[in-house]
């Protein structure tokens, strides 16, 4: 495979023809060399869905690279930029699949199983600690209820309770991942300011749940 | 459980005001100490993360040069996952001079 500069990649990919075909083929090899490392935390090459996922991600990455070629600013090596696109596509797909599978598992397997004991039902905690925890959680929960908008609350439930991936949660809220992160950031800032006004330190609350 | 029951359960789960479990409340508190007024968006991180990761791989102090990116990665689990995956790709493939 020839070594290309960033400019050579851009020039080869810019117009249809043999140079673009050769560059796409080289990119395919590069993407498929990187993907096993990108996926290694979640999927190993001997799992049945591995090859189809890699193929699907590679195709989608090549299409996106051609589509977004004009947005490459040369801040990094061109191949790093391509790997970044492949990682985003691969992890988005994995998260969606993982969440759908776990949600269906919960619906079908846990319908008659009682909920797990809550954080307050800690048998090792002293009565005083338990009472303090109940009191503190009630205060914080009330503040959250008062401070967060319905939309911020909905986002928190989707992400923090249902463990929905951000891309899916954003779609459900008819927004995008960027705006969803901003929504959460604003919620955190509001809560941080309010807790500070009420003289409650988040770390102190957390510490209360760490010691018995 | 049949498909109709599953659909019914999904519908009903979206139709009532769900209470925030204590675990979610504590999870929310856990990140508050790191929250700053100034903040990068996920899109800004995505635009710069390739440059950031290359600096890290080259042992330059990326976190010091681009502190807002590091702060965002500490708060956003999905951007952080993508950062770690890209780091892993570059660390492994740079040895093959990809």
Secondary structure in 3-state letters for B32-67:
HHHCCCCCCCHHHHHHHHHHHHHHHHCCCCHHHHCH
Tokens coding A90: 């691969």
The 10s digit of each residue's pLDDT in B68-93 is: 898 899 889 899 999 999 999 999 98
**Residue A24 structure tokens:** 């796409």
CB contact under 8 A, B50 and A80: yes
Give yes or no for B6 touching A (CB within 8 A). yes
Greater confidence, A208 or B43? B43
ipTM exceeding cut-off 0.90 for this assembly? no
Does any CB of chain B come closer than 8 Å to the CB of residue A22?
no
Contact A91/B85, CB-based, under 8 Å?
yes
Domain that holds residue B77: 3-96
From the candidates A192, A193, A209, which should be mutated to test the interface with B, based on the most B CB atoms within 10 A? A192
Domains of chain A are: 6-106 (1.10.1740.10), 127-210 (1.10.10.10)
Contacts of A152 (CB under 8 A, 6+ apart): A183, A184, A186, A187, A190
pLDDT for A113 equals: 46
Quote the number of domains for chain B: 1
The confidence score (pLDDT) of residue A98 equals: 78
Question: At A40, is the secondary structure helix, strand, or coil?
Answer: coil
Q: Which residue of B has its CA nearest to A208?
A: B26
pLDDT band with cut points at 50, 70 and 90 for residue B2: low
Choose from A24-33, A47-56, A194-203, B74-83 the range with maximum mean pLDDT: A24-33
Task: Judge contact between A86 and A30, C-beta under 8 A.
Answer: no
The residue of chain A with its CA nearest to that of B77 is A166
- Closest listed residue to residue B31, CA positions, set A195, A131, A176, A135: A195
Specify the long-range contacts of residues A3-7, CB closer than 8 Å, at least 24 apart.
A3/B97, A4/A78, A6/A72, A6/A74, A6/A77, A6/A78
Confidence of residue B98 (pLDDT cuts 50, 70, 90): very low
């Amino acid at each position: 495979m020839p070594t290309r500069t960033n400019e050579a990649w851009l020039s080869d990919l810019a117009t249809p023809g043999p140079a673009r075909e050769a560059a796409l083929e080289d990119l395919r090899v590069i993407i498929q060399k990187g993907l096993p490392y990108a996926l290694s935390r979640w999927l190993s090459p001997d799992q049945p869905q591995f090859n189809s996922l890699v193929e699907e991600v590679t195709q989608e990455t090549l299409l996106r690279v051609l589509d977004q070629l004009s947005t490459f600013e040369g801040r990094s090596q061109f191949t790093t930029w391509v790997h970044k696109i492949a990682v985003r596509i691969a992890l988005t797909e994995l998260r969606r699949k993982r969440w759908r599978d776990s949600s269906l598992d919960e619906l079908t397997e846990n319908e008659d199983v009682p909920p797990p004991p809550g954080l307050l039902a800690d048998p090792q905690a002293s009565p005083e600690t338990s009472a303090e925890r109940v009191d503190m959680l009630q205060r914080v929960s009330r503040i959250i209820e008062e401070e967060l908008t319905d939309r911020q609350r909905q986002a928190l439930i989707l992400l923090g309770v249902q463990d929905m991936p951000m891309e899916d949660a954003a779609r459900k809220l008819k927004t995008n991942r960027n705006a969803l992160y901003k929504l959460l950031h604003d919620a955190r800032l509001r809560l941080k300011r309010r807790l500070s006004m009420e003289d409650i330190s988040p770390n102190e609350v957390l510490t209360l749940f760490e010691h018995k | 459980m049949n498909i109709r029951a599953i659909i019914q359960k999904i519908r009903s789960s979206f139709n009532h005001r769900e209470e925030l479990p204590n675990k979610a409340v504590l999870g929310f508190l856990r990140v508050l100490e790191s929250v700053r007024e100034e903040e990068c968006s996920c899109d800004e991180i995505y635009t710069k993360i390739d440059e950031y990761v290359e600096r890290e791989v080259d042992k330059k102090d990326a976190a010091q040069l681009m502190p807002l990116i590091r702060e965002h990665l500490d708060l956003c689990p999905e951007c952080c996952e993508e950062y770690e995956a890209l780091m892993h790709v570059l660390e492994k493939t740079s040895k093959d001079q990809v």
